[in-house]
Amino acid sequence: MMDLTRSLLHLPMCLRYQAEHTTRSIRIVSKMKTYSIALIPGDGIGPAVTEAAWQVVEAVARGADFTVHATRLPWSCDHYLETGAMMPEDGVEILRGRDAILLGAVGWPRKVPDSISLHGLLLPIRKAFRQYANIRPHRLLPGVEGPLRKSEFDILCVRENTEGEYSGAGGRVHQGTEDEVAVETAIFTRKGVERILRFGFEQARRRRGKLASVTKSNAQRHSMVFWDEVTHELAREYSDVEVTSYHIDAMAARMVMAPETLDVVVASNLFGDVLTDLGAAIQGGLGFAASANLNPDRSTLSMFEPVHGSAPDIAHLGIANPIAAIWSASMMLDHLGETDAAARIMQAIEAITARGMGTVPGEHKTDDITRAVLTALH
C-alpha cells in the first residue's frame, strides 16, 4: 500500500493525483488540473509582453495545484505576408478545445492595413467563440501617478464585443468616383444587447452595486433608444443595482472629472472602445491596461490581452511595459477559477509598482520588470 502511494506521488506533474490513504484502499480524491493555453504573441511588442506574462503564469502555477501548457501560434502580420492570411483557414478549430487564449498585440499598419489584421484574426476569434463581453479594469496601481492626480477610482468597463458598430455589415459603391458611397451598419440585436447589459448588472452586483449604461440616445434614435429601453427593462430585475444612463459625451467628461463616482460602465462596441482608451489614460497609460474577451457562459474559450497595440515605435527596444499583459494573465487565471493564483499575481504587480518599478514609461526594461514580478511572487 505504501509503495503504491509513493509511486502515485511520483508520477509526472500533469498526471499527479493526491491520494488519500485509508486502511483498505487508496482513493483518488482530486486530479491536478492542466490548462492548455493558446499563446498568440502577434506583432511588435506583443511577443515580448506575452513571454513575460507566460513566465509569470508558469511561476505561479509551480506553487499551486495546477499546471499550464502553452501552444505558441505564430499568427501575426508577418504570418500574413508569408501566407496571405492572418491565421490558417482552420485557425478557429486549432483554438477550440484549449482552455484560454493569451494574446500579445496584433497589427503592424506599415506592413498590413489594420482593417486586414483586425478582421483576419481578432474579430473572427471574438465572434467564433462568442466572446461578447470585453472587460477592462481601470484603477491606479500603487505608485502609479495618473494624469488626474486622483488615486481613488476603480472602474470596470464592460464593452459589447461582437456586434454594434463593429458588426462589419456595410459596403462601398462607386469607389474612387465623386459619387462614392460608404455604408457601415451598426447592428443591435435584442439578444446581444440584453446579454451584455445583464453581464454588466451581474458585475455591478459583485462589486459596488452601481451600473452606468452609456448611449447617445438623444442623437441615435433607433439603436440607442432601444439600448436604453432594454436597460430599463432589466433594471426591474436588478432592483439592488443603482442604474444611471449617460450619453457618451457626458461619460467621457465624468471619467476625467469624477471617475470615483463610477463602478461598472457598460457600453456598445464603439463607445466602449473609445471610453476604455480614456480609462487606460487615466490609469497611467496603455502599459497598465488589461483586458479580457469573455464568453461569460463558459460554453467556449475566452481570450485575454493587454489593451495596447503592437507599439511599433518601441518594438524591439526591450522597454515595453509587460504589466498590462501580466495583469491580463491574472484575469485569465481568475476566469479559469484559479482565483488564488490570480490574486497572487496582482499582489506581486502591486508590490513592485508600489516601489516605483515599471511606473515611469521607458525607465525600466521589460525583462527587469518581469524579473521583479517573479521575485515578488516568491
Residues marked as catalytic: 166, 216, 249, 273, 277
Say how many C-beta atoms besides its own lie within 10 A of residue 5's C-beta. Answer: 13
Smaller CB distance to ligand ATP: residue 137 or 200?
137
* CB of 241 or CB of 329, closer to ligand ATP: 329
Residue with smaller CB distance to ligand ATP, 97 or 318: 318
3-state secondary structure (DSSP) of residue 133: strand
**Least distance in angstroms from the C-beta of 139 to ligand ATP:** 17
What is the smallest separation between the CB atom of 226 and ligand ATP, expressed in angstroms?
Answer: 29
Among 134, 293, 310, 353, the residue binding ligand ATP under the rule CB under 6 A is: 310
* Cβ atoms within 10 Å of 278's Cβ, excluding its own: 16
Report H helices in 84-222.
Answer: 91-95, 114-117, 123-128, 190-206
Does 115 participate in binding ligand ATP (rule CB under 6 A)?
no
Question: For ligand ATP, which is the closer residue by CB, 131 or 359?
Answer: 359
Please report whether residue 46 would count as binding ligand ATP according to CB under 6 A.
Answer: no
Site for ligand ATP in 342-361 (CB under 6 A): 361
DSSP 8-state code for residue 146: -
- Please identify, among the stretches 157-165, 196-204, 225-233, 311-319, the one whose residues bind ligand ATP according to the rule CB under 6 A: 311-319
Backbone angles phi and psi of 267, in degrees to 5: -150, 165
- Could you give the C-alpha distances from 326 to 7, 17, 102, 307, 364, in angstroms and in order? 36, 29, 10, 12, 16
Q: Out of 314, 346, 354, 360, point to the residue binding ligand ATP (CB under 6 A).
A: 314
- Closest distance to ligand ATP from the beta carbon of 277 (Å): 8
Q: Among the candidate windows 27-35, 74-82, 208-216, 303-311, which touches ligand ATP by CB under 6 A?
A: 303-311
Of 106, 47, 20, 89, the C-alpha closest to 318 is 47
Note whether 308 and 45 are within 8 A (CB): yes
**313 sits near ligand ATP (criterion: CB under 6 A):** yes
The separation between CA 196 and the C-alpha centre of its own chain, rounded to angstroms, equals 15
Binding of residue 85 to ligand ATP (CB under 6 A)? no
Does the footprint of ligand ATP cover residue 324 (CB under 6 A)? Answer: yes
Minimal distance, residue 343 CB to ligand ATP, in Å: 23
In the list 53, 265, 320, 377, the residue contacting ligand ATP (rule: CB under 6 A) is: 320
Out of 309, 331, 345, 349, the residue judged to bind ligand ATP by CB under 6 A: 309
- Do 110 and 245 meet the contact criterion of CB atoms below 8 Å apart? no
Closest listed residue to residue 15, CA positions, set 59, 60, 67: 67
3-state secondary structure of 166: strand
Taking CB under 6 A as the binding criterion, the range among 130-138, 225-233, 308-316, 348-356 that sits at the site for ligand ATP is 308-316
| CB 227 within 8 Å of CB 217 | yes
Residue 29's SS3 state is: strand
Residue written as grid cell 496601481: 141
Task: Please report the beta strands in 161-289, taking only residues with DSSP state E, as ranges in sequence order.
Answer: 164-173, 181-187, 210-215, 242-247, 264-267
Q: Site for ligand ATP (CB under 6 A): how many residues?
A: 15
Rounded CA separation 133/291 (Å):
10
Comparison of 326 and 377: residue with beta carbon closer to ligand ATP:
326
Among 57, 61, 241, 311, which residue sits at the site for ligand ATP (rule: CB under 6 A)?
311
Interface ranges with ligand ATP (CB under 6 A) = 45, 49, 107, 286-287, 308-311, 313-314, 320-321, 324, 361
